[in-house]
Structure 1
Amino acid sequence: MKRLQTAAVTLLFLNSAAAAASSPWVETPGGGVRLVALPAAADGSMRAMLDIRLNDGWKTYWRDPGGSGIPPSLAVAGAELVSVGFPAPKRLGDAENHYIGYDGSVRLPLKLAKAAGGAITATVFLGVCKDICIPVQAELTVDASGESFTNPLEETAIAEAEATLPRGAGDGFRPLSGRWAADGKSVTVRFEAPADGPVPDVFLSGSSTFEFGAAGPVRRDGAAFVAEVPVLHRPKVFDLGKDPIRLTVRAGERTMESPLAIE
């Protein structure tokens, strides 16, 4: 997707409110979006998800779309947003206009804290794309103040969303090293992945001040795999100890995500 296509389309703002632990679907171009939340635990923690429904032929972006597109953003009122989970993405588009995202419906698990059990509103900004990319902003509200039990359908939906997240590093599927190029414009990534599967695909992501491109061809180097990942934007000041770069690898149906130590 070209940035000028994104900028040329008027922003859509949509609102929903519900006295339930699942907001109504807010219709968007090519699909819909809703917020689902389980009742708060005794310590105020809450499991939730952003449910993005896409019709055939529509797509949306990963947290780092690879230099072209709109990374999804989320702000929450009524609770503290601890984390947003992202399933491993795919490369989309063509050689000239490639980007990183999802070509089907996707659920993003959320971890919330300090939830008082009342109304929670998520303000969502994301891009949905077909021939052009359309930026969408929506307010999604759930009110779990009257919920004293967990709806089994909602609990199942959130558990299924959590199960789609990449697993952590383990034996035979883990990062080995990362190295900045001398000019800082790329990162060489070495990692282990299942050797009996398809050629792995590699994605890097960091804080909002970093921006990475689509990785080059993955090659074998002994027992390891190696890929070069373009750095499209690198801030002058950063602390990878506090906010590490994350390596996400897709090897067929298997996915892995782990912090990447970069020299």
Structure 2
Amino acid sequence: MRSLALAALTIALMGPSAAALAAEASAWSAVDGAAIRLLPGNAPANGPAGLEIRLDEGWKTYWRSPGDAGIPPTFDWSKSENLGGVAVLWPAPSRFDDEGGSSAVYKDDVVLPLKVTAADPTRPVRLVLSLDYAICHEICVPAKGSAELTLAPGAQGGEGADAIAEAGKRIPKEEAIGADGPSAISKVTLDTSVRPARLTIDVKAPSASSLFVEAPAKWYLPMPNPAPGADKANPQQFVLQLDGLPKNATLGGNELRFTLSTGGGGIESLYRLP
């Protein structure tokens, strides 16, 4: 009886402490213009954690594929403990145009959901991040941030769960080209009669949209632009010049990933060049 009482007392003492491990966000790691922190959400067992990047007014940072200018964020999780893996999920970005070109950006406050896998699901994960990213106001500057967080197995209701869930709604959904939905990439047409070759991409979107492209390594494609004569408020057709390819590169068989961003979310479609 005494041993049972001691066990119950031990669980009572450990329970709130273990829950607290996943209850609060990490401390902010700030630079001039921005700050980052890790959000526990309901990770690792029941849902994603999150990386929050808070930007001062007038500042921006970059999506995973920044466009004509900019640097994508890079993540170093090597000092983490009991970590099986981390997958970063990306809400749809916005397009930003200036004299330096066109880029894919986030402004204000963005949360990137993180799918965290524990090496041993029965033990806590100590998540340690070193982040290199770029932030821009009138000029762009490199930034560094660090954050760490302990995620207890099975914890729920951690700080940031609602923000992570909201960010999850803005992650583009995978759709085949020609899919029947309110947002879709309807058709892609290749024209090799011009130099450089170009693609015409027909899209379907209920509101103002932007189109982004990701290409094979060492291809430096420009950003797709609304086709001449397209509705500037809600373009339904884009043109992509297949410029910036490595010397002697061939088109056939290479795969492009298109992301159609509609502000609240979007879709992603793969296109294999014929």
Secondary structure of the residue aligned to 1:258 is strand
Equivalences, count: 237
Secondary structure of the residue aligned to 1:65 is strand
* Alignment equivalent of 2:184, drawn from 162, 174, 187: 174
Taking only the aligned residue pairs, the percentage that are identical comes to: 26
Match of 2:147 in 1: 140
Tell me the CA shift for residue 141 of structure 1.
1.2
Match of 1:13 in 2: none
Greater helix proportion: 2
Amino acid at match of 1:171: D
Alpha carbons 2:135, 2:143 under 8 Å: kept: yes
Check if 1:22 corresponds to 2:28.
no
1:1-263 equivalent positions in 2, closer than 5 A: 20=22, 22-37=25-40, 38-41=42-45, 47-77=48-78, 78=80, 79-116=83-120, 117-145=124-152, 148-169=154-175, 170-172=179-181, 173-175=183-185, 176-177=187-188, 179=190, 181=192, 187-194=198-205, 197-198=207-208, 200-206=209-215, 209-218=218-227, 225-231=236-242, 233-234=244-245, 244-251=255-262, 253=264, 255-263=266-274
Tell me the CA shift for residue 142 of structure 1.
0.9
Tell me the CA shift for residue 80 of structure 1.
4.1
CA 144–250 in structure 1, closer or farther in 2 if over 3 Å, else same: closer
Tell me the CA shift for residue 48 of structure 1.
1.9
CA 95–107 in structure 1, closer or farther in 2 if over 3 Å, else same: same
Aligned equivalents of 2:265, 2:170: Cα separation in 1: 10
Give deviations 1:68-113, integer Å, cap 9, x for gaps.
1111122323324453222222221424443221232211112232
Aligned equivalents of 1:230, 1:29: Cα separation in 2: 37
Aligned equivalents of 2:69, 2:161: Cα separation in 1: 35
The TM-score normalised by the length of structure 2 is: 0.71
Tell me the CA shift for residue 155 of structure 1.
2.2
The structure with the larger Rg is: 2
Aligned equivalents of 1:86, 1:240: Cα separation in 2: 28
CA 229–239 in structure 1, closer or farther in 2 if over 3 Å, else same: closer
Amino acid at match of 1:60: T
Tell me the CA shift for residue 248 of structure 1.
1.0
Tell me the CA shift for residue 33 of structure 1.
0.4
Gaps of 5+ in 1: 1-17
Amino acid at match of 2:240: V
Secondary structure of the residue aligned to 1:69 is coil
Indicate the RMSD between aligned Cα atoms, in angstroms.
Answer: 3.5
Alpha carbons 1:65, 1:71 under 8 Å: kept: yes
